[in-house]
Amino acid sequence: MVSLSSNLLYTAFILYLIATVFFAGSIKDKNRTNRGPNRWASIGLWISIIGFIAQLGYFITRWIAAGHAPVSNLFEFTTFFGMSLVGAFIILYLIYKTPILGVFTLPVALILIAYASMFPREVSPLIPALQSDWLHIHVTTAAVGQAILAVSFAAGIIYLVKSVDQRKQSKQRFWLEAVMFGLVCTLGFIIISSTFSAMGYKAEFNWIDKNGQEAVLEYHMPALTGPNEGQLVTDGKFKPLAEMPPIINAKKLNTVIWSLASGIILYLVLRAVLRRRIGEALQPLTKNINLDLVDEIGYRSVLIGFPVFTLGALIFAMIWAQIAWTRFWGWDPKEVWALITFLFYAAYLHLRLSKGWHGEKSAWLAVIGFIIIMFNLVAVNLVIAGLHSYAGS
Amino acid sequence: MKKQRLVIRTVILLVLGAAVAYTLYANFTKDQVQKVAVGEKAPDFVLTDLEGNKHRLSDYEGQGVFLNFWGTWCKPCEKEMPYMNNQYKEFKDQGVQVLAVNVGETDLAVNKFSDRYNLSFPIVIDKDGPVQSAYGINPLPATFLIDKDGKVVKYITGEMNEATIKDYMEQIKP
Amino acid sequence: MNEVKCECGHVNPHGTVLCESCGKVLEEKEKEKKLLDMRYEGSARRSQTYNKTMIDKIWNFFSSVKVGVWLIVITLIASALGTILPQEMYIPPVMPAAEYYEDQYGWIGKVYYDLGFHNLYSSWWYLILIASIGISLVICSLDRVIPLYRALKKQRVSRHESYLQRQRVFGVSKIVETDQAFTMAKEKLKEKKYNIREENGNLLAEKGRFSRWGPYVNHVGLIIFLIGGMLRFVPGMYVDKILWIREGETKVIPETNGEYYLKNEKFILEVYDKEKDNEVFDEAIDKAGMVAKNYQSNVTLYKKSGDAVAGEEANLEKVKDFEIRVNEPLKFENFALYQVDYKLNELNKMSFALTNKKTGEEYGDLTVDLNDPQDAYDLGNGYKAEIVSFFPDFEFDENGEPVTKSRIPNNPAFVFKMFTPDNPDGEISFVAIRQTIEPFGDNEYKMAFKGVDTKNVSALTVRKDLTLWIIALGGAIFMIGVAQGSYWNHRRIWLRRVDGEVWVAGHTNKNWHGLKREIDAALDGTSIEMPEDQLQKQSEKKG
C-alpha cells in the first residue's frame, strides 16, 4: 500500500511536469484561434486533472495505510500543500481560462513536492497530541487556504513579469530577479540534496553541544561547516573547512551554504544559456495576457483563500489547541506566524479596498504574502521550532 | 446636532479608553492579586497538630492569629521560626495565637524540625493541600495576620526578622 | 450645517461626493476624473469633515484606514520579533530568564532580554497595539457603515448621466426597439436572481447588496473576540493551575473552593511497539528510537458533601471515573482537567536490611514509606532502627550540612541510628542512594539497601475559562462576516434611456469578470451593445 502510494505521488509529479510543458506550448502556439484556450491548453488541463487524481490516490492510499490523514509531518504536509495548489489552480483555471496561470502555478507545486521529498518520508505514528480528528480538519483546511493564497503569488509573478520594465534598471527589476533567484536556490537545494542522497553520502561527527555534552551528528552532505569541536568519525570523507560555535546549528548552516552555492551556479548557468535575466526570459510568455485579468485572478484568490486560511489556520487551530494544549492560544511561533500571515493579508485587503492598491503594488504584496507563508512552513519548522516542531524532524 | 456628535464621540472614546486602561491595569496587577485579600474574612479550616489536637481557625475568634505557612526545606522559613517562637512566648498571654501550617511534609520531617528548634506554638500539617489552596499559597514563607474578628489585616511573603514579627503581633493584639 | 442640495432635489449631508439619490458628482475635484471612486458610494464620511476639538482629532486618527493599516503592520512586525528567540514561558526552568538568554544566545540574548522581548506578547506596548487595533475597528466601522447604509438605501433608479458615464463598465447604444430590449434584458436579469427596480422607464438591477455589510459584520466579530480576550483579566474568569498528583493520592482540585477532589488511580505511558502496532510505522520507530503513543491518567472525581471546612476530613461522594488522555480532558462544571506532564517512577518506598558488615548476616528488613516514614522500626530480638533525620531531596549545602531541596523524594537520604544487642547505645549511619557515611568511625552494622518501590506522578492542568463562549461567538461572527464579504459580490446594472439612446452601466465591488459575463448574458439577443470596460480600454491605450 505504501509503495503504491509513493508510486502514485511520483506519477502525479511527472504529470504536472508534462502539463506545464503543454500550458507553455499553448502560449507559444502561433495558430491561436480567437481568445479562448486552444488544444494545447485543454490537453494540459486534462493532464493536470489526471495528475491531481493520482495525487489524491497517493493521499488516500497513504491514509489507509497509516490509519491517519497523511498530514502529520513536513513531507506529508508539504506534498498536500502542493496538491491543494494544483487543485486551486484547476478551479481558477476553469473560471478564468488562462493557460499562463498553469505555466506559473504548476512549477511552484512541482518545487513544493520535490522540496517535500527531501524530508524523511516514512509513515510515522502519531504522538498523543496529534491523535485527534482535528489533525486532518485543521491541517488540511490551513493547507488549502495557503494553497489558494499561493495562486495569488503566481498571478502576482505573472503580473510583474509582464509589467516590470526589463530595459532600464530599477528596484522592481532587481527584486523580481531576486524572487526568481530564490526559486532557483530552492531548486538548487533539491538538486544538491538528491544528488548526495543518491550517492548515499554519510559522514559522522562526534562533537560537543552547547551544554557541553558529547553528541553524534550525521551529515548527508560534505561538511563545509563542521560542528563545535567536531571529530570526523567516518573515514575518507570531506573534512570541514570551518568549525562553528555550539549555538549555531552547523549541519543546517552547511545545507544552506550548499543550497546557496548550487543555486548560484544554477542561476549563472541559466543566465549564460538564456543570455538575459530570468524575468526577461519569461516575459514573452506573458505577451498576450491582460493585466487587469491577472490582477483580478490574484485578488480573487486572496478573497477565496483568506477566509479558508483564517478558518483552518486560526479558528480550527484554536479549537484544537484548546483541547490538546489546554489553551486556544499560546504564542507558539507557528501560531504567531499564522497570525502574521492573517494580519498581512488583512492589510492587503485594506490597502486594496481603501487605498486603491491595485495592479503592481497588489502583485508585490501577493509575492510578499507567499514569502511569509513559506517562511512559516520552512523556517519556523526547521529553525525556530516550538510545539509544532514534530512537523519538522 | 454638532453638540450631539461631540457627546457621542466623547462617550464612545471614554468607554474604549476605560476598557483599555482596565485591561492594562489588570494585566500588571495580575501577579499581585491575592486569593485572600486584606480586609476579607480569612477562610476557616481545621488541621491537626503534632500532638493530635485539632485547631479550627474560627475557634480563635477574639484573639489575633499569626498564621504562617512554611516548609522544612525553605531557608527563610527556618530562619524566622525561632523568632516566632520567642515572640509567641511574649504574646500568647496577650491574646495572640501562632499557627504554623506546614505545607504537607511527612510527620517525621516536621517532628524532627520542631524538636530541633524546640518550637512551642502549634504546628499543623496541611497534608493534601486544601488550606494552601484556599489561601492561594505560593511561594514560601507566607504569613497572614488575622485580627480578633477573623479578618485578614496583612499578608506578608518573604522572610521576617524578629522586630517585624514583634511589630506584627502588636498589630493583631486584641 | 451646510448640507448640499442636489439638482434632483435630494438633500445630502455635508461632505458628500456623489449625490446619495441620483449619483450626480457634487464635488468639483471628482468631476475631473474619468472614472468615479466608488468607495463607500461617495458618501460623506463624517470623520473627514469635522476636525475641531481634541475629541474629533482623536476620533479622526482612529477612523483612518491608513492608521489602521499601519497598526496592523506594526503589530505584524512586533509579533515576528517575538519569535526570534523563545518566549520566557517556553524556556526550560533551569535558571532565571535573565541569565538564560545570555547563557544560551550570547549578547543577542542579552539584548533581547533587556528589551523585554522575552515577554513581548504581554508587554504594555503590545497590549496597547492590540487595543488600538480594537479602537480603530470600532471607529472605522461606525464612521463608514452609517453613510454607506444611507447611500445604498437612498439610491434612485435613474442615475445622473455624469454618474453613469464615469462607471468602469459603461456603454451607449442607439436602438429603435427600446421597450422590447428592456423587457428581454429584464427577464434575463431576473433569471440571474437580480432584484429589478424600475422608474420612468429606466431600470436598476441589483444583487448581493448584503455582501457590502460583510466587513462590518466581521469587524463586530473581531471586537467581540477582543472583548473576550479582555475579560480574561477579570479575576475569576480564568484559571490556570497545575496539579501534580501521585498514583493512589487524593487531592483537592485547586480553585474549586475545596468542592472537588481527584484521586489518581493510575498513570499510564504507552509507546509504539513494532510487534503490535501497524508495521508501516517500523521505519519511523527505528529512526526515532521511541515514539509515545498514549499518556493517560485513570482518575476518580469526587465532590465534597456537607460543609466541612478546609482540612477537615471531608465526606467525598464519587462523581465519576474517567480516563484523562491528551486530547480528552475531564470536564466538570466550568472546569477541565488536561493531561500535560508526568514523572515516571518517583520513589515511593525504600527497603533496607539491618546487616552485620562482617558476617553479612541480616537481622530483619524494614520498608520506609517515603511519604510517611516512621520514627523507628523495631525488628525484634533487640534489633531496632531509628530514623534520626530524613532528607527527601537531599544535597549538601554550602556548609557541607545535609539539607533537603524540597519535600519531594527525588533523592532520599536518612540518618539511621541502629540499635543491636552488641551496640545498645546505637550506631549512626548516614544512608543516601549509592552512598553511606559513618560519621563516628567504623560501625559494625549497616543498613543494606534492598530495593525500591516507585509510583508514577501525573501532572494535570486545571483550567477554567469563562470567556470561551464569547471568544467562540466572536470567531463565528467574524467568519460569517468574512465569508459574506468574500464569497458574494454586490452587483448593480443600470439601464437608462437618454434621448433615444440606451445607456448601460455596471458596477461591482469586486470580480468584474463575473459582472461583465452577466451583463453579456443579459444583453445577448437584445440590440443593446455590450458596454465596455473603460479601465481596460485606458490601460490598453497606455500599453
B163: CATH: 3.40.30.10
Lowest mean pLDDT among A12-26, B136-150, C141-155, C195-209: B136-150
Q: Which residues of C touch B6 (CB under 8 A)?
A: 53, 55-56
How far away is chain C from the Cα of A267, in angstroms, using its nearest Cα?
30
The predicted pLDDT at position A197 comes to 85
Stated length of chain A: 393
Of C230, C311, C405, which is closest to B23 when you measure between CB atoms? C230
DSSP annotation of A341 reads H
Residues B102, B27 share a domain: no
Structural domain contains residue B40: no
Residues B52, B14 share a domain: no
Order across the sheet with C315-325: list the strands: C250-252, C260-271, C292-305, C315-325
Q: Which residues of chain C have pLDDT under 50?
A: 543
Percent of chain A with pLDDT strictly greater than 70: 95
Residue type at C226? L
Q: Does B53 touch chain C (CB under 8 A)?
A: no
Q: Which residues of C touch A318 (CB under 8 A)?
A: 471, 475
A353: its cell numbers: 479596498
**For residue A392, which phi and psi values (nearest 5 degrees)?**
-90, -95
> Looking at chain B, which subunits does it touch, using at least 3 CB pairs closer than 8 Å as the criterion?
C
How far away is chain C from the Cα of B94, in angstroms, using its nearest Cα?
27
Residues B113, B140 share a domain: yes
pLDDT per residue as tens digits for the range B15-57: 999 999 998 888 887 766 677 778 888 888 888 888 888 888 8
Residues whose CB falls within 8 Å of the CB of residue C400, separated by 6 or more in sequence, listed in order: none
pLDDT (mean) for A203-213: 79
Is A75 in contact with A9 (CB distance < 8 Å)?
Answer: no
**DSSP calls for chain B:** -HHHHHHHHHHHHHHHHHHHHHHHHHHHHTTT--SS-TTSBPPPBEEEBTTS-EEEGGGGTTSEEEEEEE-TT-HHHHHHHHHHHHHHHHHGGGTEEEEEEE-S--HHHHHHHHHHHT--S-EEE-SSSHHHHHHT--SS-EEEEE-TTSBEEEEEES---HHHHHHHHHHH--
Of B10, B16, B30, which is closest to C135 when you measure between CB atoms? B16
Structural domain contains residue B111: yes
Cα dihedral A298, A303, A308, A310 in deg (nearest 10) = 110
Q: Does C399 touch chain A (CB under 8 A)?
A: no
Tell me which residue of B27, B21, B12, B63 sits closest to B42, measured CA to CA.
B63
* CA A113 vs CA B106, C38, C122: distances in Å: 60, 43, 39
In A170-289, beta strands by DSSP E: 203-208, 214-219, 225-226, 231-232, 242-243
Residues B13, B75 share a domain: no
Query: A317 pLDDT band (50/70/90 cuts)?
Result: very high
| Residue A29 predicted with pLDDT over 70 | no
Is B110 in contact with B125 (CB distance < 8 Å)?
Answer: yes
Q: Does C80 touch chain A (CB under 8 A)?
A: yes
Structural domain contains residue B122: yes
Of C142, C309, C407, which is closest to B104 when you measure between CB atoms? C407
pLDDT per residue as tens digits for the range B50-99: 888 888 888 888 888 888 898 888 888 888 888 888 888 888 888 888 88
The predicted pLDDT at position A32 comes to 52
Of C131, C310, C389, which is closest to B20 when you measure between CB atoms? C131
**For residue A53, which phi and psi values (nearest 5 degrees)?**
-65, -40
Q: Which residues of B touch C403 (CB under 8 A)?
A: 73
Judged by CB atoms closer than 8 Å, whether chains meet at C311 and B13 is answered as no
Residues B52, B94 share a domain: yes
With 0-12 / 13-18 / 19 or more C-beta atoms within 10 angstroms meaning exposed / middle / buried, residue C381 is: exposed
Q: What gap in Å lies between CA C430 and CA C422, rounded to an integer?
A: 20
Structural domain contains residue B109: yes
Cis geometry, peptide bond prior to residue B139 (ω within 30 degrees of 0)? yes
CB atoms within 10 A of CB A1: 12
How far away is chain C from the Cα of A305, in angstroms, using its nearest Cα?
9
pLDDT per residue as tens digits for the range A238-270: 788 888 877 777 788 888 888 899 999 999 999
Coil, helix or strand at residue A61: helix
Residues B50, B23 share a domain: no
Is C437 in contact with C446 (CB distance < 8 Å)?
Answer: no
C-alpha dihedral sign at C468, C472, C474, C475: positive
With 0-12 / 13-18 / 19 or more C-beta atoms within 10 angstroms meaning exposed / middle / buried, residue C329 is: buried
Of C59, C227, C311, which is closest to B9 when you measure between CB atoms? C59
**DSSP calls for C179-218:** HHHHHHHHHHHHHTT-EEEEETTEEEEEE-GGGGGHHHHH
B86: its cell numbers: 520567642
Residues B145, B69 share a domain: yes
Judged by CB atoms closer than 8 Å, whether chains meet at B27 and C55 is answered as no
Of C272, C284, C486, which is closest to A122 when you measure between CB atoms? C284
Cα dihedral C228, C230, C232, C233 in deg (nearest 10) = -170
Residues B71, B6 share a domain: no
Q: Does B139 touch chain C (CB under 8 A)?
A: no
Cα dihedral C389, C395, C401, C404 in deg (nearest 10) = -50
Q: Which residue, among B123, B133, B140, would best test binding to C if mutated, counting the most C CBs under 10 Å from its CB? A: B133
Of C69, C278, C283, which is closest to A347 when you measure between CB atoms? C69
B56: its cell numbers: 479550627
Is A209 in contact with A228 (CB distance < 8 Å)?
Answer: yes
Judged by CB atoms closer than 8 Å, whether chains meet at B23 and C131 is answered as yes
Q: Which residues of C touch A322 (CB under 8 A)?
A: 468
DSSP annotation of C158 reads S
Structural domain contains residue B41: no
Lowest mean pLDDT among A232-236, A363-367, C53-57: A232-236
Structural domain contains residue B118: yes
Q: Which residues of B touch C121 (CB under 8 A)?
A: none
Q: Which residues of C touch B50 (CB under 8 A)?
A: none
How far away is chain C from the Cα of A354, in angstroms, using its nearest Cα?
7
Coil, helix or strand at residue C364: strand
Judged by CB atoms closer than 8 Å, whether chains meet at C76 and A351 is answered as no
Stated length of chain C: 543
* CA A256 vs CA A237, A249, A250: distances in Å: 19, 11, 10
Residues B77, B13 share a domain: no
**For residue C5, which phi and psi values (nearest 5 degrees)?**
-95, 125
Residues B154, B78 share a domain: yes
Q: What gap in Å lies between CA A277 and CA A176, rounded to an integer?
A: 10
Residue C339 belongs to what H/E stretch? strand C335-356
Comparing alpha-carbon positions, the chain B residue that sits nearest to C254 is B133
Coil, helix or strand at residue A267: helix
How many independent structural domains does chain B possess?
2
Coil, helix or strand at residue A206: strand
Judged by CB atoms closer than 8 Å, whether chains meet at C326 and A324 is answered as yes
Q: Which pTM does this prediction carry?
A: 0.89
pLDDT per residue as tens digits for the range C11-53: 888 888 888 888 888 887 777 788 888 888 888 765 555 667 8
Query: A392 pLDDT band (50/70/90 cuts)?
Result: very low
Q: What gap in Å lies between CA B123 and CA B102, rounded to an integer?
A: 7
Tell me which residue of B24, A47, A358, A80 sits closest to C122, measured CA to CA.
B24
**Orientation angle between helical segments A250-274 and A171-199, nearest 10 degrees:** 120
Q: Does B2 touch chain C (CB under 8 A)?
A: yes
B103: its cell numbers: 505545607
Structural domain contains residue B85: yes
User: What ipTM did this prediction achieve?
Assistant: 0.90
Judged by CB atoms closer than 8 Å, whether chains meet at C486 and A337 is answered as no
Q: Chain A neighbours among C 486-525 (CB < 8 Å)? A: 486-487, 510-513
Residues B144, B60 share a domain: yes
The predicted pLDDT at position A384 comes to 64
Tell me which residue of C482, B13, C324 sits closest to A314, measured CA to CA.
C482
| Residue A36 predicted with pLDDT over 50 | yes
Query: B113 pLDDT band (50/70/90 cuts)?
Result: confident
Q: What gap in Å lies between CA C30 and CA C4, rounded to an integer?
A: 15
C-alpha dihedral sign at C157, C161, C167, C171: positive
Provide the residue range defining the domain that includes B27. Answer: 1-33
Residue type at A221? M
Residues B156, B121 share a domain: yes
Judged by CB atoms closer than 8 Å, whether chains meet at A343 and C89 is answered as no
Judged by CB atoms closer than 8 Å, whether chains meet at A122 and C510 is answered as no
Q: What gap in Å lies between CA C505 and CA B29, rounded to an integer?
A: 60
